C-alpha cells in the first residue's frame, strides 16, 4: 500500500516538474531559447561546421562576382573600384537580343526537362526493386553493378559513346551486318539529346538510388508483416508500405531537382558537340563558357549565367510552394 502511494507521489512530482519546465520555456525569449537549443546540439553542429565553412568559402563568397553582369568588366579592373563602368541591364539586353537566344533557351529547357522526366523516377523504381530482392548476395551484386558507372569520368564515358555509336562504332557495324546504312549518331542533331540523356542516366541512376535505399532501410518490418497477414502480395506492399514510407524523401528531392532543372553542365555537352549537332547542343552553359572563358566577354557571360540561376530560383520557390500546399513536405 505504501509503495503504491509512494509511486503515485513520485508521478505527481514528475508531472509538477514538467509543468514547471513548460512554464520556464514559455517565459524564455526567442533568443534565450535559441541559445539553449544551440548548447543542447553543440556536438551535432560541430560536425556540420566543416561543411558550413566549405559552403561559405566556395559557394557564397564568390557570389559577389555576379556584380560584373551589370558592368563593362575588363580583366584586371577592380569590381568595386572607381574605374568600374556600370552599364545597368545592357548586358542582359544584349544577351536577349542575340539571334539564336530562343534556340539556346529551348535547347537547354528540353534537354534538362527530358533528362529530369527520365532520370528522377528511375532511381526510385530501382531502389524499390532492389529492396524487394530476398537474396542479400544478389542484392549487393546488383547494387555494385549499378553503382560502378558513376565512377567513370565524363571523358571516358564520351569515349565509350564514340566506340559504340561512332561512324565506325559497334552499333554501326551491327547495322551494316544486317544490310543497313551507317548512321552518324554524332553528326545528327536528332541523336544528340537521346545520347546525352540516356548515357547520363545510365551513369547516375544507381548512385542516385542510394538515398532511397537508405530511406527504405528505415521502414518498420511490422508494417510488412501486417500487410502479409491482410493478404497483400509483394507488389502491393511496394505501393502500400514502401512507397508511402519514402514519400517525404521523394518530395524533398523532387523540390531540389526542380530547383536545379535548368542546370546542365557544359563539360559533357562540349565533349559530345560536333558541327553536325551544334544546332541542338548549344545550351546556356556552353554559351557562358564560350563567351566568358573562350571569348573573354565576362560581363555578358555572367549575365547569361545569372539569368539561368534566376530561373532555377523561381522554379525552386514554385516547387516548394506547391509541395507545401498539397502535402506536408517542404523545404521552408
Please, which residues have CB within 8 angstroms of residue 232's CB and are 6 or more apart in sequence?
Answer: 240
The dihedral region occupied by 132, where left means phi > 0, alpha psi between -120 and 50, and beta the remainder, is alpha
- 3-class SS string, 238-303: HHHHHHHHCHHHHHHHHHHHHHCCCCCCHHHHHHHCCCCCHHHHCCHHHHHHHHHHHCCCHHHHHH
The pLDDT assigned to 26 comes to 54
Asked whether the beta carbons of 147 and 207 are under 8 A apart, the reply is yes
Asked whether the beta carbons of 170 and 183 are under 8 A apart, the reply is no
Q: Which three cell numbers stand for residue 259?
A: 530547383
pLDDT at 8 over 60: no
* Separation between Cα atoms, residue 100 and residue 279, nearest integer Å: 10
For residue 216, the surrounding DSSP H or E stretch is helix 210-217
Q: How far apart are the first and last CA of the chain?
A: 54
* Separation between Cα atoms, residue 123 and residue 125, nearest integer Å: 5
Query: pTM of the predicted model, to two decimals?
Result: 0.81
The pLDDT assigned to 108 comes to 94
Categorize the per-residue pLDDT at 303 as very low, low, confident or very high, splitting at 50, 70 and 90.
very high
Categorize the per-residue pLDDT at 203 as very low, low, confident or very high, splitting at 50, 70 and 90.
very high
Report which of 109, 135, 126, 90 is spatially closest to residue 258, judged by C-alpha positions.
109
pLDDT at 270 over 50: yes
DSSP annotation of 40 reads H
Residues in the chain, overall count: 332
Residue 240 burial by CB count (10 A; 0-12/13-18/19+): exposed, middle or buried? middle
For residue 225, the surrounding DSSP H or E stretch is helix 221-229
Mean pLDDT to the nearest integer, 287-299? 89
Categorize the per-residue pLDDT at 28 as very low, low, confident or very high, splitting at 50, 70 and 90.
low
pLDDT at 196 over 50: yes
pLDDT at 7 over 60: no
The pLDDT assigned to 23 comes to 47
C-alpha pair distances (Å), 246 with each of 7, 118, 196, 237? 42, 19, 29, 13
> In this predicted model, what pLDDT tens digit does every residue of 79-118 receive, in sequence order?
887 778 889 899 999 999 998 899 999 999 999 999 999 9
**DSSP 3-state of 195:** helix
Number of neighbouring beta carbons within 10 Å of residue 94: 15
Top pLDDT among 35 and 103 is at 103
**Ranges of each domain in the chain:** 89-326
Asked whether the beta carbons of 246 and 215 are under 8 A apart, the reply is yes
Asked whether the beta carbons of 288 and 272 are under 8 A apart, the reply is no
Q: What is the CATH code for 89-326?
A: 1.10.3720.10
Amino acid at each position: 500500500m505504501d509503495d503504491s502511494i509512494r509511486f503515485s507521489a513520485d508521478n505527481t512530482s514528475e508531472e509538477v516538474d514538467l509543468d514547471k519546465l513548460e512554464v520556464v520555456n514559455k517565459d524564455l525569449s526567442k533568443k534565450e531559447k535559441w541559445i539553449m537549443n544551440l548548447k543542447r546540439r553543440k556536438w551535432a553542429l560541430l560536425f556540420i561546421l566543416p561543411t558550413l565553412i566549405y559552403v561559405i568559402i566556395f559557394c557564397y563568397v564568390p557570389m559577389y562576382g555576379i556584380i560584373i553582369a551589370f558592368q563593362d568588366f575588363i580583366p584586371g579592373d577592380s569590381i568595386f573600384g572607381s574605374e568600374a563602368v556600370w552599364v545597368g541591364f545592357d548586358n542582359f539586353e544584349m544577351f536577349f537580343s542575340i539571334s539564336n537566344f530562343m534556340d539556346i533557351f529551348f535547347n537547354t529547357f528540353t534537354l534538362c526537362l527530358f533528362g529530369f522526366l527520365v532520370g528522377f523516377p528511375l532511381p526510385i523504381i530501382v531502389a524499390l526493386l532492389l529492396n524487394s530482392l530476398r537474396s542479400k548476395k544478389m542484392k549487393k551484386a546488383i547494387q555494385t553493378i549499378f553503382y560502378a558507372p558513376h565512377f567513370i569520368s565524363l571523358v571516358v564515358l564520351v569515349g565509350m559513346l564514340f566506340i559504340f555509336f561512332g561512324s565506325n562504332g559497334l552499333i554501326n557495324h551491327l547495322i551494316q551486318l544486317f544490310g543497313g546504312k551507317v548512321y552518324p549518331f554524332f553528326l545528327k542533331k536528332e541523336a544528340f539529346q537521346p545520347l546525352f540523356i540516356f548515357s547520363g542516366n545510365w551513369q547516375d541512376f544507381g548512385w542516385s538510388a542510394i538515398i532511397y535505399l537508405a530511406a527504405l532501410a528505415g521502414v518498420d518490418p511490422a508494417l510488412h508483416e501486417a500487410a502479409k497477414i491482410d493478404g497483400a502480395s509483394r507488389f502491393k506492399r511496394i505501393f502500400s508500405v514502401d512507397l508511402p514510407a519514402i514519400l517525404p524523401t521523394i518530395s524533398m528531392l523532387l523540390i531540389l531537382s526542380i530547383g536545379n532543372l535548368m542546370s546542365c553542365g557544359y563539360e559533357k555537352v562540349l565533349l559530345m558537340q560536333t558541327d553536325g549537332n551544334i544546332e541542338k547542343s548549344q545550351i546556356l552553359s556552353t554559351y557562358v563558357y564560350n563567351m566568358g572563358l573562350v571569348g573573354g566577354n565576362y560581363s555578358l557571360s555572367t549575365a547569361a549565367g545569372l539569368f539561368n540561376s534566376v530561373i532555377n530560383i523561381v522554379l525552386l520557390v514554385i516547387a516548394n510552394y506547391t509541395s507545401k500546399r498539397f502535402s506536408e513536405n517542404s523545404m521552408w
